[in-house]
Each structure stands twice: as C-alpha cells, then as structure tokens.
Amino acid sequence: MKNVQKILKVTYGVVPVVAGLDKFTNLLTDWKQYVSLSIANLLPVGTTTFMMIIGVIEIIAGILVFARTALGAYIVMAWLIAIALLLIAGGHYYDVAIRDLVMAVGAYVLAQLSGKTNFPG
C-alpha cells in the first residue's frame, strides 16, 4: 500500500507543478483557450496574467502535496473539481472536465491514504 501512496504522491505533486510552470511557457498547450469568453470578460486582468496566477497556485499546491501530503491532496482535489466545473459551465472541453474529475478522485484517494487530515463525510 505504501508503494501506491508514493506513486500517487509523486503524481499529484509533480503534475500540478509542471502544469503550473507551463502556464508561463505554454509549451504543452495554449492555456488561455480553456478560459471561456464569459469568464474572461469577468476577469480584472488579461487571460495571460490570469493563467500565470493559476500557475502559481498550481505550483504551490504541488509543493504542498510533497510537504503535507493529505492537506495538499485535498487542495489538489478541490482545485481539479473547480476546474472541471468551470469547463462544464463554459460549455466546452467536456473530455478535459471528465479527466479532471477522475484525477480529483485519485487525489482524494491519496489524501485518504495519507491519513492525518480527514475530509468531512
């Protein structure tokens, strides 16, 4: 079981950091495309700046998974759910939304395996 926990910890620690860093380089994808026009119009900053802010949050969440695994995993889980809901609300990228919801389940499993912080319910 500890091996599974280690694999999940590395996965949910590294992936948010890589995705967060990529918000500054757009090497993996053009992240702005995932911001719906209705959301973009509500932002107090441009979509590029918004995605960089998102990137910083993701980097912090990934580092937190390594430092305080259970807490970090719950934060990554909530973050993934929020992203999925925004994508669904935007009416596009349902495949990415479903993937993020499945990844949220994995983050929840990591948090549960890591023990110390129990999520209500």
* 77 Cβ neighbours under 8 A, 6+ residues apart: 104, 107, 108, 111
Residue 92 pLDDT grade (very low, low, confident, very high; cuts 50, 70, 90): confident
pLDDT digits (tens, 9 = 90+) for 53-76: 999 999 999 999 999 999 999 999
Name which of 55-59, 81-85, 89-93 the model is least confident about.
89-93
Structure tokens at 97: 């939304």
| Predicted TM-score of the model (pTM) | 0.87
Kindly tell me if the per-residue pLDDT of 116 is higher than 90.
no
Alpha helices in the chain (DSSP H): 2-25, 37-42, 47-67, 69-90, 94-114
Residue 115 pLDDT grade (very low, low, confident, very high; cuts 50, 70, 90): confident
Kindly state the average pLDDT of the residues 84-92: 90
pLDDT at position 121 is 44
* 39 Cβ neighbours under 8 A, 6+ residues apart: 86, 90
Kindly tell me if the per-residue pLDDT of 37 is higher than 90.
no
Per-residue b or e along 91-100, where b marks 16 or more CB atoms closer than 10 Å to that residue's CB: eebeeebeeb
